[in-house]
Structure 1
Amino acid sequence: MQFWRSRPATKLPIMLNHQDIVDSLTENNKTHAWGSRRIGKDELYVARIPSTAGTGLPTALVVKKFQNANPALLVDDNVKNRCRSEMILLASICHDNINRILDVIEREEAIMLIYKYEVNGSLDYWLHQPKDAGRPLSWPERRAIAIGVAKGLCHLHHGCNKPVVHHNINSSNILLDQNFKAVIASFDDAQMNMAGLDQPLPITDLPPGNFGYAAPEYGVAASELTEKVDIYSFGVLLLELVTGRVANGAGVDGLLAIWARDNCNELMANHLKMFKIAVDKGIPDQARYMEEMATVFKLGVDCTVGDPKQRPYIQMALKRLRHNRGRGSFCGLLIL
């Protein structure tokens, strides 16, 4: 078939046994390693392969399988185009905080993209796991995750030949490696904006986003979407890291971004007396990091304002995260 004649760029040697990988794609190995906005479109598997000494290859991989909705049908142009668009996009991006394609397997009935499996799973699991399932993430770990995601987004928005908009930043799509380094995954709906930064994106068939993470302009001004939709989602992620709340909760609090915006001034008043109540109870040694967590919370609020033009660029958000790292200063509460 050879619809793609050059392999994606990768630092790892391509020495994978394709037949071992294909044989491992059983029903029991299906996974939700990351979430897609397009429900039921393509399937994800975790493939576990024998380790080859000295190659540096992972022993577990995520396999994304592109095939027709009717599995009895062979690969057609629609399947090829879906796969090709993701390959071309990710082959042009090389960054430590962005998931990359290791290999591609082509068969008559399906095309499979091979990704590294990040052994600590998704950020969503670590933030919202059952209380008895394992240890909570410390604040230094959460801060490092926030900075890692910001660095990845900064590369997408400002470091590529043309800005790339992810469209689906959420805690399920932030994977954590063995050192809890953040890796952005799920590029199903990502777009390269050929018109450049701040220019509207050509949106045609993008389905509704993850409720709670999706910027309000998706529903009211779909013809005016820019990279600032990722800033909104990133802001929700920051609020999630600080509070431990889900982005779209039940009850009177509802959407995390709206709750944070409505209560921000009260939470920040009186030397953070109320803010202490809002912080994730699972974070150890909270008093040591309270003011720093407050500055990240305020950044999350600034990133989720309704007007996209008022949201900071990811470069500024990254600068603010780095500036307040390890500081006890309250200056981060100011809008920079």
Structure 2
Amino acid sequence: MNHNSIRIIDNLAEITSYHDRHVLEKSLLKTLNELFPSQDLRLFRVRENSGAHELSLLAFCVNGVIVSSDENPRLMTEQSDLSETIFKAIKNADVELTSTENGKWNVVYPAFDANGVIFAVLLISTDLVPSNGDQRLIYGILRVYSNYLALIEKTQKDKLTGLFNRETLDNEITKILVRQGSHFSEQLTSPNDSRRRTFAVKYWLGVIDIDNFKTINDNFGHLYGDEVIILVARLMKSGVIRDDDLVYRYGGEEFVVVLKAPDEEDAMRTFERIREMVAAHDFPQINQVTISIGFVEVFAQPSPSDVIGEADEALYYAKGNGRNQVHSYSRLLREGKVKPVSQVVHGDIELF
């Protein structure tokens, strides 16, 4: 076995040693950059929306420096000036090459999932046209990435709804708390202004519960109750949640949504859209199902359980004050309608 073969095997072993999608994407670009040194590597997610393909930048590598959207969420909205070549590769389901004015080449490789659907594209900017052997090797590495990503996602998804499961939620909240805490410590505008930040991206977590779900189960049976859970999950994923927002099944009839919004009002509007879409949907046999939502900004809490606890307190308020409502924990706290979670002790009232 020659040194190149050993190097390839080592790199593939590294790719498949991670269980976090963002780290996996960085490892993929690191491997490709080592095997095919180039000035620019970019990995895009491909989504189909109303018959059109949409791109979002997942990670890039420039001069050996690799950055993922997990570290810089603004990458998700970055537009590529090479979209024509990328969309041509998607349309033809094949590699596309274009030359640049300075004599370089842009090469686009589509990545296919287990169903043969293009879910990502890789862009490589290079001085040399890749050989057929190089192209086959890159395609092979993308297949390893695709297959391993599918295995990771299978362990992270709820079997009933296809949403992320509860086990993955704590890890996501922890990453956000660490990321926001790091930005906060670096970008404080004043030592006397302990909550002000100069960066725009904020994360919000909402706990969502189907109203009167016990009654639905009692009147129509658990199988129908499962159908209601599946329909609510689909509604939350179709049209009301952006591609980079995350939806989890937290347990039973309860869900969690983690989204990005610049401020509380924008987060409130997003959660209201979710509530309104569910309330407006015509459910078979029972016509209407409603949900209650409590949400909070993910920032500076000591732990993931504290984040969930604050959102849950706002949800508890919504349940106790009429249901089919959205409430912000921070706003309720400012208005004196709830106490800090650490001071709250609920009785045995059945609200769920």
Structure with the bigger RCO (C-alpha within 8 Å, sep 6+) is 1
**TM, length-normalised to structure 2:** 0.30
Higher Rg of the two aligned structures: 2
Higher-helix-fraction structure? 2
Higher-strand-fraction structure? 2
